């Protein structure tokens, strides 16, 4: 399958991996949108929340629950924002579900409706 995140997971494409367990890995985003920008990527490939199995949901939640313990090491001790882009309106560009982890600074919360 020609999926960049699956290739990163298999080590076929280099990445800056900062965490890995049996469920997920976390890499630095190649084009950061905040002082700290990571991606939590489930090891199992699926595109959308609507494609998730119960096992996928449990695996992602196990991964997310590791974040509080990792926050200090990742420079996120003052807080962070999680974003999951889903589909065209959200501008999803990689079709392997992933959670953006943004922080390392105060994060404005823009009002997008008039843009």
Question: Is residue 101 part of the contact set for ligand AMP (CB under 6 A)?
Answer: no
Nearer to ligand AMP, 13 or 49 (CB): 13
Tokens of 54: 């119960």
Chosen residue from 3, 64, 71, 107 binding Zn ion by CB under 5 A: 3
Which residue from 51, 61, 74, 52 is spatially nearest to 21, judged by alpha carbons? 61
Neighbours of 8 (CB within 10 A): 19
Residues in region 7-26 near ligand AMP by CB under 6 A = 13, 15
Residues that bind Zn ion (CB under 5 A): 3, 5-6, 45, 96
């Amino acid at each position: 399958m020609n999926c960049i995140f699956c290739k990163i997971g298999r080590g076929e494409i280099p990445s800056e991996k900062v965490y890995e367990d049996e469920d997920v890995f976390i890499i630095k985003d190649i084009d950061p949108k905040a002082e700290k920008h990571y991606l939590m990527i489930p090891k199992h490939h699926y595109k959308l929340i609507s494609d998730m199995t119960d096992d996928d949901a449990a695996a992602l939640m196990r991964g997310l629950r590791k974040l509080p313990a990792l926050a200090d090491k990742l420079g996120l001790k003052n807080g962070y924002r999680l974003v999951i882009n889903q589909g065209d309106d959200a501008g999803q560009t990689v079709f392997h579900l992933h959670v953006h982890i943004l922080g390392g600074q105060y994060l404005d919360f823009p009002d997008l409706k008039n843009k």
